[in-house]
Chain A
Amino acid sequence: MQFFGGSEISPSPPVPTASGNNAHMMYVFNRNGVCLLYREWNRPLRTLNPQQDHKLMFGLLFSLKSLTAKMDPTTADRGNLGVPQLPGQGCSFHSFRTNTYKLTFMETPSGLKIILVTHPRTGDLRESLNHIYNLYVDYVVKNPLYSPGTPIR
């Protein structure tokens, strides 16, 4: 009786081919939790309406960040759980993986959060997020008609 053989309990979906689109969706939040940009490419499952979905995503990231700040095993002074922290303060995280998707997260010093949701087998996407941030700086922040805190158009 081989209970834990080669097969996984929760098999992940098949690996897409190189030509396929790996990205599911992308979010950009500002420091106040306003969703500046939302794009989706491949999202078969939708359980919530967009507003609730954005709120839940922001809440998940916020809480995961306070969790990692509290759990950080390399420092002794970690503060209290749930106390809001400035961007760059405390231990943050850069990605997590489930059996159906992988979420990569970046927070800039100004508190902008960029989130990419992709296939679980994709590699390290921090470079891509940096590239997206550069695009944001070049084409959004430098746009004189853009007023900060409003959705990007």
Chain B
Amino acid sequence: MAAIYSLYIINKSGGLIFYKDYGSAGRMDTNDSLRVASLWHSMHAISQQLSPVSGCSGIELLQADSFDLHCFQSLTGTKFFVVCEPGTQHMEGLLKFIYELYTDYVLKNPFYEMEMPIRCELFDINLTQAVQKDRNPSSSIWWVVGSPYCASAQDGADSDEDDHQQSRKHGRKELRN
């Protein structure tokens, strides 16, 4: 069961900076994923122009026959969009959580160049965790907005990862105080 099919991150000029496939039939090749990402960027912009009311910020949800596409645009123009099964819930929360991971592990990485493809190990690790959590129905809503860091006991299989989690929690507390 794959609730999430794939995840894309595009920079403010429409270039694909991150693409991950979670088990759709026939993986898209690199050129096609780049084309699709920039096409989505333009469609997002055109949908703002066609709004009957002012203040439109682009497509948030596209419902196709065989999938749903949820899109989240950050204030800086980076777009995160996820392709999932029709009717999947809580995708806004997941996208916002991925945005937090992006700010924490990509933007704070001193070796990351802005607007360039993302190659950060910590980001990959945490993203995989978040998506796997999402697939596991018993804990599927742990990152729902308002309770981003649920204190549920993790299976301490990997002590390294536990350390990451701990440091994240502490960092978060300091931020809040």
- With a CB–CB cut-off of 8 A, which chain B residues contact A140? none
Complexed CA–CA distance, A43 and B1 (Å): 43
* Contact between B52 and A45, CB atoms less than 8 A apart: yes
B54 at the interface (CB under 8 A from A): yes
A121 at the interface (CB under 8 A from B): no
Residues on B close to A: CB < 8 A? 5-6, 24-26, 28, 32, 35-36, 39-40, 42-43, 46-67, 69, 75, 83, 96, 100, 145-146, 148, 175-176
- Taking CB as reference atom, which chain B residue is nearest A57? B50
B81 CB to nearest chain A CB (Å): 10
* Contact between A98 and B57, CB atoms less than 8 A apart: yes
- With a CB–CB cut-off of 8 A, which chain B residues contact A91? 64-67
- Taking CB as reference atom, which chain B residue is nearest A41? B52
- The size class of the interface chain A forms with chain B is 35 or more
* Contact between B64 and A92, CB atoms less than 8 A apart: yes
B94 CB to nearest chain A CB (Å): 12
* Contact between A44 and B6, CB atoms less than 8 A apart: no
- Taking CB as reference atom, which chain A residue is nearest B5? A73
* Contact between B47 and A96, CB atoms less than 8 A apart: yes
* Contact between A56 and B60, CB atoms less than 8 A apart: no
- With a CB–CB cut-off of 8 A, which chain B residues contact A60? 43, 46-47, 50
- With a CB–CB cut-off of 8 A, which chain B residues contact A40? 52
The 8 lowest CB-CB distance pairs between A and B, nearest first, are A76-B26, A73-B24, A73-B5, A24-B52, A93-B64, A68-B64, A100-B56, A96-B62
* Contact between B63 and A95, CB atoms less than 8 A apart: yes
B55 CB to nearest chain A CB (Å): 6
A57 CB to nearest chain B CB (Å): 6
28 contacts between A and B (CB under 8 A): A1-B175, A5-B145, A10-B57, A13-B55, A25-B52, A40-B52, A53-B50, A60-B47, A68-B65, A70-B28, A71-B28, A72-B64, A73-B6, A73-B24, A73-B25, A77-B26, A78-B26, A91-B64, A92-B64, A92-B65, A94-B63, A95-B63, A98-B48, A98-B56, A98-B60, A99-B55, A100-B51, A101-B53
* Contact between B47 and A75, CB atoms less than 8 A apart: no
Give chain A interface residues in 31-61, CB to chain B under 8 Å. 40, 42-45, 47-48, 53, 56-57, 59-60
